[in-house]
């Protein structure tokens, strides 16, 4: 789940970068594009903030998954009488 959120955050950052570049070149490259540079800057800002929020959610998801995994391992170790989980035959 966290990997998907990281990918989404990366895509949002990419679109934010494209929007920022468009704010610098609005109206110069193609006259048919919206020439309002502040609209592109605002879009870039919102995409950046959205990317940061999604990245934070990805980090928190990864942390909670790790906590769940370690709690499960500790529970299994305690249930097995302190033996370490691993192969039965060595």
Measured CA to CA, the distance from residue 68 to residue 65 in angstroms comes to 5
Residue-wise pLDDT for 4-53, tens only, equals 999 999 999 999 999 998 888 756 666 665 567 788 889 999 999 999 99
Residue-wise pLDDT for 54-81, tens only, equals 999 999 999 999 999 999 999 888 887 7
- Position 9 scores a pLDDT of 95
The per-residue b/e assignment along 30-48, b for 16 or more CB within 10 angstroms, e otherwise, is: eeeeeeeeeebbebbeebb
CB atoms within 10 A of CB 51: 20
pTM: 0.73
Radius of gyration of the chain (CA): 23
């Amino acid at each position: 789940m966290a990997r998907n959120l990281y990918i989404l955050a990366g895509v949002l950052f990419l679109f934010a970068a494209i929007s920022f570049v468009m704010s610098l070149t609005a109206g110069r490259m193609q006259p048919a594009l919206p020439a309002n540079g502040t609209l592109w800057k605002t879009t870039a800002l919102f995409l950046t903030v959205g990317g940061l929020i999604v990245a934070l959610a990805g980090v928190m998801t990864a942390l909670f998954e790790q906590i769940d995994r370690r709690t499960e391992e500790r529970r299994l170790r305690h249930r097995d009488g302190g033996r370490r989980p691993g192969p039965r035959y060595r």
